[in-house]
């Protein structure tokens, strides 16, 4: 893809996004007219009405803030069959829709009052305004139609991908923003008879990389209406660089990875709206979400056709109106520590107010309710940092509440607009959002994201759908590999000093369990593990080790040195089989398969063979030791001894592990 100068690109033609709201209004009015005529018998039920929506050809700006150039007017044709409007909404249905509108407006008012009228903290989070999000409005309209008009059991399902920031580390899992958002939306949708499900699939120390994008049904299900992907510490190209070439010639890798997520989401049956969450805590740039301008501009073939995507940033612009942010103040602290002076614009390290760190509240609603049940925990709550906006490098419950409230406020605004359109139509609500066709990929290669079909298997017990690792095992070798939890070997973390144990245990265990890291384990004595992959489009297979937050345990096999790989019975070494990032096995099976992979199956055999007396290559570096790059990912103190008398001397430990205990662990597999 030849890159053009962005300033030139920013002079492209008008968008259909703003016109879509007009088309919805016209559609509802036409439907009302057709309904009345149908009831009067003046229109045959087979007659179709064509609604022509011509885009404006005058120069304007899209709701994404992108300057647009003149384009020839185009027209969208929506076919409405009169038979679909033969039943007027009953007065009961109108009453229900009106009641929902009143409830949504009251919910907005309540949330605004919670922040003492400070709409800035709520309104400045989204990149594009809710008033212009006709694509999400269309999705909401279809959901309302299914529930209120057709009387079907209807759900609005939310899938969430992210890291420890989203998983709720350092606070209560039920206080994490996906669940707080879910509780808001559950109240909104319940008035319309719609159930809400939140699937928080965020994992600590794990990037929601492209391979998670390829496996969305497995991670979040194939029935989601909204996909939210956190983008905090992990670049979009994480897990892809040096693993697989996904970008067209000249296309940036990060935009290609972004497009993979969008295409895989919009390949799902419900074509969910996509929200990107950036949790930036500093400011100083006029447009903290400026990178999204380029991303969304490149994705214009999707957005102009009605696909819903937006980005949110919780702590940059939404906190810029607090003048304290730009003045010297006190840094956050935990327990009895003294607060140090601070002048950073970061609201995580230097809260705008040491007592009310979101500018308005001492604690989150979640913590308030917790202390109502357990007032004896107040000191422990404060000592653990649970009154704070941020704890270490993670949001505290107050920070999670800010994120959730901003997204909820956005959805309230879109839902209000949707209900108004429906009620103004005065006729039977037609399912206005139909299946949208994906355009040709912009940045990612067609063979990777054109179809977005992958064979995905996971050992995680919390997968929503798809294959377990056991489902792709071939059992003709009589192996005894087993699937089980990883276990850190350290037991549950002990509470810090002066923290009540009952409070600490509640914090660790309450609410949904979260992601339990699991894998298929095998030692040399367990024989050969065989896996089968069928009908692969690209003949590429990826096997992943689990992510170990504090370094691999010493008994975990080194895949580069201690894992024998065979493909269709033949030993596979580089370049056909290569290890990347120390924890991913990349298999290019094209040279091992006669014909095309898509017409058959690929068998992968794995066997552990521990190295006798391995050389870990220990050497001194600063105040510690380092390992040979082949042993990257392991903790040096397992394998190296540092001299007490000579800081520049590091040597291999003698027999740091037993070969009989060395095991390979496979957490997930992806075939494309």
Please write the tens of the pLDDT for every residue from 212-231: 999 999 999 999 999 999 98
**Whether 285 and 210 share a structural domain:** yes
Burial class (CB in 10 A: 0-12, 13-18, 19+), 367: buried
Interval 574-613: pLDDT, tens: 899 998 866 899 999 998 988 788 888 999 999 999 998 8
Whether 288 and 278 have beta carbons less than 8 Å apart is answered as yes
Closest CA to 656 of 612, 607, 609, 608: 612
CB atoms within 10 A of CB 240: 23
- Over residues 72-93, the mean pLDDT reads 46
Whether 111 and 122 have beta carbons less than 8 Å apart is answered as yes
pLDDT band at 446 (very low <50, low <70, confident <90, very high): very high
Quick one: DSSP state of residue 45? T
For CA atoms 465, 468, 474, 478, give the dihedral sign.
negative
- Over residues 13-41, the mean pLDDT reads 42
Interval 104-159: pLDDT, tens: 999 999 999 999 999 999 999 999 999 989 889 989 998 998 999 889 999 999 99
Q: What pairing do the DSSP bridges indicate for beta strands 650-652 and 482-485?
A: unpaired
The H helix count followed by the E strand count for the chain is: 19, 29
**350 is a domain residue:** yes
pLDDT for 82 equals 33
- Over residues 648-659, the mean pLDDT reads 90
| Top-confidence residue, 450 or 215 | 215
**Whether 392 and 473 share a structural domain:** no
Q: Is the pLDDT of residue 39 over 90?
A: no
**Whether 648 and 547 share a structural domain:** no
Task: Give the separation between CA 298 and CA 248, rounded to whole angstroms.
Answer: 13
**Whether 196 and 224 share a structural domain:** yes
Q: Is the pLDDT of residue 179 over 70?
A: yes
Task: Give the separation between CA 295 and CA 291, rounded to whole angstroms.
Answer: 6
**464 is a domain residue:** yes
- Over residues 335-339, the mean pLDDT reads 59
Q: Taking all residues of the chain, what is their mean pLDDT, rounded to a whole number?
A: 82
- Over residues 392-410, the mean pLDDT reads 96
Domain membership of residue 491 as a residue range:
453-613+661-671
| Top-confidence residue, 399 or 423 | 399
Q: 242-256, 350-364, 447-461, 507-521 — which is least confidently predicted?
A: 507-521
**Whether 469 and 535 share a structural domain:** yes
Task: Give the separation between CA 259 and CA 442, rounded to whole angstroms.
Answer: 8
Whether 608 and 523 have beta carbons less than 8 Å apart is answered as yes
- Over residues 420-428, the mean pLDDT reads 69
Three-state secondary structure call for residue 99? helix
Whether 322 and 352 have beta carbons less than 8 Å apart is answered as yes
Interval 513-550: pLDDT, tens: 566 778 999 999 999 999 999 999 899 999 999 888 77
Task: Give the separation between CA 588 and CA 577, rounded to whole angstroms.
Answer: 6
pLDDT band at 26 (very low <50, low <70, confident <90, very high): very low
Number of domains in the chain: 3
| Top-confidence residue, 291 or 443 | 443
| Top-confidence residue, 86 or 285 | 285
Q: Is the pLDDT of residue 46 over 90?
A: no
Task: Give the separation between CA 213 and CA 86, rounded to whole angstroms.
Answer: 42
CB contact burial 271-288 (16+ within 10 A = b; e otherwise):
bbbbbbbbbbbbbeeeeb
CB atoms within 10 A of CB 2: 7
- Over residues 180-190, the mean pLDDT reads 97
pLDDT for 208 equals 84
- How long is the chain? 672
pTM, two decimals, is 0.84
Q: 44-58, 474-488, 654-668 — which is least confidently predicted?
A: 44-58
**Whether 534 and 649 share a structural domain:** no
- Over residues 639-653, the mean pLDDT reads 87
**Whether 251 and 180 share a structural domain:** yes
**For the chain, how are helix, strand and coil distributed in percent, rounded to 5?**
35, 20, 45
pLDDT for 390 equals 94
For 387-435, what is the HEC assignment?
Answer: CCCEECCEECHHHHHHHHHHHHHHHHHHHHHHHHHHHHHCCCCCCCCCC
**Whether 533 and 399 share a structural domain:** no
**Whether 372 and 516 share a structural domain:** no
Q: Is the pLDDT of residue 15 over 50?
A: no
pLDDT for 464 equals 85
pLDDT for 493 equals 65
Q: Which two tokens stand for residue 637?
A: 């103190």
Whether 207 and 139 have beta carbons less than 8 Å apart is answered as no
Q: Which residue has the tokens 């001492």?
A: 362
| Top-confidence residue, 389 or 493 | 389
**Whether 28 and 55 share a structural domain:** yes
**Whether 397 and 515 share a structural domain:** no
**447 is a domain residue:** no
**Whether 165 and 187 share a structural domain:** yes
Q: Is the pLDDT of residue 35 over 70?
A: no
pLDDT for 230 equals 93
pLDDT for 89 equals 65
DSSP calls for 144-180: HIIIIIT---EEEEEEEE--HHHHTTTS-GGGSHHHH
| Top-confidence residue, 582 or 346 | 346
pLDDT for 512 equals 63
Task: Give the separation between CA 158 and CA 512, rounded to whole angstroms.
Answer: 16
- Over residues 188-201, the mean pLDDT reads 95
| Top-confidence residue, 89 or 99 | 99
Highest mean pLDDT among 406-415, 566-575, 611-620 belongs to 406-415
């Amino acid at each position: 893809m030849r890159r053009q100068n962005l300033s030139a690109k920013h002079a492209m033609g008008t968008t259909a996004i703003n016109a879509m709201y007009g088309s919805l209004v016209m559609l509802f009015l036409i439907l009302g007219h057709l309904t009345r005529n149908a009831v009067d018998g003046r229109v045959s039920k087979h007659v179709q009405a064509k609604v022509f929506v011509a885009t404006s050809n005058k120069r304007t700006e899209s709701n994404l803030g992108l300057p647009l150039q003149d384009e020839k007017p185009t027209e969208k044709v929506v076919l409405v069959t009169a038979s679909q409007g033969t039943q007027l909404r009953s007065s009961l249905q109108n009453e229900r829709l009106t009641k929902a509108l009143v409830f949504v407006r009251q919910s907005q008012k309540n949330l605004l009052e919670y922040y003492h009228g400070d709409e800035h903290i709520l309104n400045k989070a989204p990149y594009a305004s809710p008033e212009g999000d006709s694509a999400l409005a269309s999705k909401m309209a279809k959901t309302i139609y299914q529930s209120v008009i057709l009387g079907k059991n209807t759900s609005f399902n939310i899938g969430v991908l992210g890291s420890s920031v989203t998983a709720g580390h350092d606070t209560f899992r039920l206080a994490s923003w996906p669940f707080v958002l879910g509780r808001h939306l559950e109240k909104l949708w319940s008035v319309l008879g719609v159930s809400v499900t939140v699937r928080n699939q965020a994992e600590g120390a794990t990037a929601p990389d492209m391979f998670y994008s390829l496996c969305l049904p497995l991670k979040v299900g194939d029935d989601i209406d909204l996909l939210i992907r956190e983008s905090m510490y992990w670049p979009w190209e994480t897990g892809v660089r040096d693993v697989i070439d996904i970008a067209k010639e000249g296309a940036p890798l990060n935009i290609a990875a972004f497009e993979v997520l969008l295409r895989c989401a919009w390949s799902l049956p419900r074509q969910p709206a996509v929200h990107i969450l950036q949790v930036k805590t500093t400011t100083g740039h006029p447009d903290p979400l400026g990178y999204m301008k380029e991303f969304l501009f490149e994705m214009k073939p999707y957005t102009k056709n009605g696909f819903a995507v937006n980005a949110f940033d919780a702590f940059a612009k939404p906190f810029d109106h607090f003048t304290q942010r730009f003045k010297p103040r006190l840094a956050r602290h935990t327990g009895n520590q003294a607060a140090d002076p601070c002048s950073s614009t970061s609201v995580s390290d230097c809260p705008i107010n040491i007592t009310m760190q979101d500018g308005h509240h001492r604690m989150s609603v979640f913590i308030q309710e917790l202390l109502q049940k357990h007032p004896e925990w107040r000191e422990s709550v404060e000592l653990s940092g649970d009154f704070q906006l941020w704890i270490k490098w993670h949001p505290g419950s107050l920070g999670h509440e800010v994120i959730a409230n901003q997204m909820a406020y956005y959805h309230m605004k879109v839902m209000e607009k949707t209900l108004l359109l429906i009620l103004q139509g005065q006729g039977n609500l037609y399912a206005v959002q139909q299946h949208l066709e994906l355009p040709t990929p912009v940045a990612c290669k067609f063979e990777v994201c054109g179809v977005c079909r992958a064979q995905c298997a996971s050992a995680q017990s919390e997968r929503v759908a798809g294959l377990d690792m056991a489902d792709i095992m071939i059992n003709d070798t009589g192996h005894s590999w087993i699937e089980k939890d990883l276990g850190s070997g350290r037991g549950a973390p002990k509470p810090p000093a002066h923290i009540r144990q009952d409070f600490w245990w509640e914090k660790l265990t309450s609410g949904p369990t979260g992601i339990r890291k699991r894998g298929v384990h095998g030692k040399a004595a367990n024989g050969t593990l065989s896996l089968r992959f069928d009908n692969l489009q690209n003949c590429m297979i990826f096997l992943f080790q689990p992510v170990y937050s504090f370094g691999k345990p010493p008994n975990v096999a080194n895949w580069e040195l201690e894992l024998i790989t065979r493909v269709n019975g033949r030993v596979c070494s580089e370049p056909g089989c290569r290890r990347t990032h120390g924890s991913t096995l990349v298999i290019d099976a094209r040279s091992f398969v006669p014909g095309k992979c898509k017409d058959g199956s690929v068998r992968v055999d794995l066997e552990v063979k521990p190295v006798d007396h391995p050389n870990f290559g220990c050497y001194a570096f600063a105040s510690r030791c380092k390992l040979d790059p082949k042993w990257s990912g392991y903790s040096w103190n397992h394998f190296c001894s540092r001299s007490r008398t000579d800081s520049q001397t590091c040597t291999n430990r003698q027999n740091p592990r037993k070969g009989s205990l060395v095991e390979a662990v496979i957490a997930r597999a992806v075939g494309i």
